[in-house]
Structures are given as C-alpha cells and as structure tokens.
Amino acid sequence: MIIVDDVHKRYQTEHGPGQWVLKGVSFTIPNNLSVGLVGRNGAGKSTLLRLIGGVDNPSKGTIQRYCRVSWPMGFGGGLQAGLTGRQNAKFVCRIHGREDDIEDRLAFIQDFAEIGEAFDRPVKTYSSGMRSRLQFGLSLAFDFDVYISDEVTAAGDAAFKEKANKAFKNLSEKASIIMVSHGEGTLRQFCEAGIWLNNGKAHWFDDINDALKAYRDSLPK
C-alpha cells in the first residue's frame, strides 16, 4: 500500500520558489493494483512518479510506502555520470545486498539494456535512451512489489519496445505497476485504475478508462 497525503511540490528557481506543480494531492494505492497516470504535458506526472519512487521529496505532505517500490524506470537520474554502466550496476547490487550473485545480475542487466560496449563506458557519454535502458534493466534485476515506469516502453527501436512490453507483461503477473505513458493502449493493457492530474490536483478513478475519458474531455475542442 502507498499513501500519498496532502502532497505539494514546487521547485526553486533563480527568482525564488516556482509555481506549485502539485497542490494538496492525496490518494491511497492498495496492494496488487496497477495505476496509470494521465494528464497534459507539464501536469506533474513525472514529478509524482519521482516522489512515489523516493528519488525526490515533497515540499509539503507525506508519502508512506508499505511495500517495496522501485525507482522510476526511464528516469535518467540516480546514476553516477563518471562511473560506467557496469560500475553503477555493481553499486546498486551492493546497496541491495546482492554480493552472492552479482555477476549473474550484471549479465542480466547488460543483456537486457542492449547497449553493447557502452556498458563499460562512463554514463555521462550515454544518450537519454541508453540511460533509460540501463535504468530499466537495473529495475528488472531486483524484486519489488511495485514497479514505477515513466514512458520506458517508448525508449529504443521497435524490437526493444516489444522486449519492454513483454517484460511489463511478466511484471504485471507478479507485481503492481504505476506508470506514465502517452499510449492509451499501453495504459489499458497494464493498468486497472487511473489518476488524472489537472491543475495540480489528482483525481482518482477506479477504472483507467474513466481516467482517460476525464483527460480527453479536458482537452480543448
């Protein structure tokens, strides 16, 4: 279970505090329920994913996680730019206490990411797509109760997208997913419930189709 309680978020700018991205967002995600986030560009979907995944903190409010939550797949942060992909992967394995089978996990991550020799080059030389692939492989290498995805199935060529979709299908059979995707078909495929973000507020829908309809109805005619 994940409880988001009265969460506000804004970022500092060179002129002081910026506008509120999220304003008083509250909802509870039950166990074993996959949720899709929908809303216009700039509505705060990726921001909310980062907050839920713990890679960013609310300006106000709390997020309680009563389950193992992954970092956001597709999120380019969290990697040490000066280290290689392999060194980053080793570091993550050690954080998760996986010293006993580290080589097997590294092999899995390298194979899934499909970045070839770049796995042994500094992450600062990666494209955004390569970083996303590495993050995706890292997330899949560990068992979480909830996986968080930010447009990860859009990264890469057609073959990698198909590979990512198959991985998501396997995940959905054993864990929950919280995801952002501009593809309505992807959201319907993997999510039961939906959250529509609009004007800094979050609107919960038990059916992803109702969330998608609310979003579509909000668009200019």
Please name each of the domains of the chain with its CATH number: 1-68+178-221 (3.40.50.300)
- Average pLDDT (102-107) is 91
- The tens digit of pLDDT for each residue in 144-173 reads 899 988 875 555 567 777 887 788 788 888
Which pLDDT band holds residue 60 (cuts at 50, 70, 90)?
Answer: very high
The Cα-based distances of 176 to 70, 110, 129, 147, 149 in angstroms read 11, 24, 24, 6, 11
* pLDDT beyond 60 at 76: no
* Of 175 and 158, more confident: 175
- Average pLDDT (201-211) is 97
* pLDDT (0 to 100) of residue 124: 94
* pLDDT beyond 90 at 10: yes
Is the dihedral angle over the CA atoms 91, 175, 74, 168 positive or is it negative? positive
Which pLDDT band holds residue 79 (cuts at 50, 70, 90)?
Answer: confident
* pLDDT (0 to 100) of residue 153: 55
Which DSSP symbol is given to 33?
-
* pLDDT beyond 80 at 180: yes
Which pLDDT band holds residue 184 (cuts at 50, 70, 90)?
Answer: very high
Which pLDDT band holds residue 14 (cuts at 50, 70, 90)?
Answer: confident
* pLDDT (0 to 100) of residue 77: 57
Residues with Cβ within 8 Å of residue 210, at least 6 apart in sequence:
194
- Average pLDDT (6-19) is 92
Contacts 24+ apart (CB under 8 A), 213-221: 215/38, 215/39, 215/40, 218/40, 219/40
- Average pLDDT (170-190) is 89
Taking the whole predicted model, whether its pTM rises above 0.85 is answered as no
